[in-house]
Every structure is written in structure tokens, then in C-alpha cells.
Amino acid sequence: MAEIGVAVIGFGLAGRVFHAPFVSAVPGLKLEAIVQRRGDEAAQAYPQSRILRSVEEALTDKAISLIAVGTPNETHYELAKQALLAGKHVVIDKPFAASSEQARELIALSGERGLVLAPFHNRRWDGDFKTVRRILASGELGRLATFESHFDRFRPLPREGTWKEAGNDANGMLFDLGPHLVDQALALFGAPEAITASVRRDRDATAIEDAFDITLHYPRLLAICRATMLAAEPAPRFLLHGTLGSFRKYGLDPQEPALVGGAKVPPIGDSREWLAEPESAWGTLVVAPNPAEPGKLNRTTVKTELGDYRDFYANVRNAVLGKASLDVKAEDGLKVIRLLELARQSSAEGRTLPFAL
């Protein structure tokens, strides 16, 4: 298999935890370079890769075919545009862009140049989400009526010295965690008919939107996406109610905390398993075998599927080689950004809005 040279731009949380480790673990991809303007953390972590001090070096490097943008949110559009103009395929960490107008421009540019443009909606490869997808496909819940997806944190005081707490329309919980939750809903149910949202600043002192409740309206189904920084006691990560039963799952996919703690991602094909969730974190399925007897319920602990962000980059590799279509298409990123824009508008105007691109 021909190797595809990859440059990861940025070595903060995104580059260090979500991009470089998984690029390195996918056969056919070569972590050719990391752009880190200052410091030597990237060189220590990846001595086999070249460390570049400017984006321009990566854009003019003929050994690099794919750029992964893992920089602060407000820079995503400009860096992705520069990479596409330089003839590089691009992966963009969430948010895909700061506006739907920017997203449309990037999609048009990638289409004109015949380049792969992939939003990094890696949470489709969370183990808990894969488990939810399997349960829905099985029909065990009957017709689904409500779907709730939470991403809760407890951070009552703003962190100092981080761009994530800086007032900017591309920052804040809506554009940080909103892309994950909304994309997962779209992956399950497609585009909604309408959206109702509350986007707020709940903490006593904050420069960003630090909480949101988004309801996506489908025929006979509500998909609710919620996030807050004031959850000392987190809600279930997923809570589903259907005509035959319910599914409840607590806790977050273990891949991010494992990597933050120093875990190494084994290459695809390695015999070491990546990354099983402990049984204590598995979800609970409660169903009524006979709806006419709703008091007689079967309660089952459901093993969590294996999550694996390597599969995202394996798919990107195949798309670059012309062997597969993207699992997460640029148009998916556009839909997410448009829904986040409508969420802000719905919240400001206090009304439900129809969804349209």
C-alpha cells in the first residue's frame, strides 16, 4: 500500500490526543510532519516525524498529501482553505467551520480541486454510540420516541490562559461539543424537520456559551442534545425511550481519557485490544416482552461495543486512495454547522425554526 504523507497542524489537545496517535496507527498513513510553532513536545512524542515551525512549510512540502487541522476553532476555515488551495486533502477538527457560509466555500473548493475534505466527527466511533446504533437497529426498543444525548462537565470557574474560554462565535460549548452531539443525531436519524434550542451562559462568570439544550424535531421523534459545565452529577450519556422499552448509559467513551493519561494506540492489526470499556460502565436495557403487561420487564446489562478512532482515519486513507467514499462527508459538516447557527437563532428568538440548508 502506498503511504500517504500526513501533516498534523497543531499539537495541543486535538493534535496530541486525537490526530497524531491515530494517524500513526493506520497502515498506509505516514505521520510525515507536525506543525508546532514552539516547544519540543511533538519532537519528543514523535521523533520519527519532522517538526515544522510554520504552516507554510507543510503546505509546500511535496511529501505531504493530507493535512489534519487541529488548531483553535477560529483558525479552522482559513487553514483548511490554504491547504485546499495548495492541493492537499484535508481533515478538519470540529467545528468544521465557524459559519455555514465558510463551510460551503470549503466544500466548493474541495469539489473544484477533486480533494478529500473530511470533518473530524470522530465520536461516531465512540463505543457507546456504536452500541446505541446497534440497539436501534435491533428493534428491541420498538419505535423510538425520545433520544437524549448528554455531554456534561463540571467546571464552575473559567479556566485561565486557554483560547477555549475566549469570547468568540467559534468557541464555547455550542461549537465545542455541539458538533459531536448533533452529528451523532444526524448519523442516526438524518436531517430534522425543525429545531428548538436554548443556548446559554449559566456560570456566574464566563465569556462563552457554556450550556445548551437542542431539540431536533422528527416525525414522532424528539432527539435532544444537551451539554453543560455545571453538572457535578452527570446525567446519562444516552437515554432512549421507545414503545417497547428504554436504554440508559452513563459515562464517556474511554479513548480520550486513556490518551490524555499516556496510553499508546496500537497499530491496526496489532493483537492488543483497543479499547474495552469496563463492565461497570456498560448500559442497561429494560424492555417489556409483552406491551400488554408493562409491569413485567426484562432488565439486561449491555456490553459496550469497542470504540476506535483509528477507523475514521482508515476511511480517510481509503477515500484519498479512491477506494471508498467518506463515512463523514463534508456535507455532514455543513449540516451540523447550519443547525448550530439555527440553535443560536432559535434561542435568541425563543421559537422553533424549520431546518433548511
pLDDT of 270 above 80? yes
Q: Which of 97-111, 245-259, 261-275 has the lowest mean pLDDT?
A: 261-275
Mean pLDDT score across all residues of the chain? 96
In this predicted structure, what is the pLDDT of residue 161? Answer: 87
Instruction: Give the CATH number of domain 4-123+311-326.
Output: 3.40.50.720
**pLDDT digit string (tens) for 95-111?**
999 999 999 999 999 99
**pLDDT digit string (tens) for 150-198?**
999 999 999 988 999 998 888 999 999 999 999 999 999 999 999 999 9
Q: Can 4-123+311-326 and 124-307+339-349 be said to share one CATH topology?
A: no
Domain ranges in the chain? 4-123+311-326, 124-307+339-349
pLDDT of 240 above 90? yes
Instruction: Write the burial class of residue 246 (CB in 10 Å: 0-12 exposed, 13-18 middle, 19+ buried).
Output: middle
**pLDDT digit string (tens) for 11-26?**
999 999 999 999 999 9
| CB of 180 closer than 8 Å to CB of 286 | no
- Alpha carbons within 13 A on the beta-carbon side of 12: 11
Q: Which of 114-123, 198-207, 270-279 has the lowest mean pLDDT?
A: 270-279
Q: What is the mean pLDDT of residues 198-207?
A: 96
Instruction: Give the CATH number of domain 124-307+339-349.
Output: 3.30.360.10
Burial 222-233 (b: 16+ CB within 10 A, else e): bbbbbbbbebee
Q: What is the mean pLDDT of residues 305-329?
A: 97
In this predicted structure, what is the pLDDT of residue 1? Answer: 61
Which of the 8 DSSP states describes residue 160? S
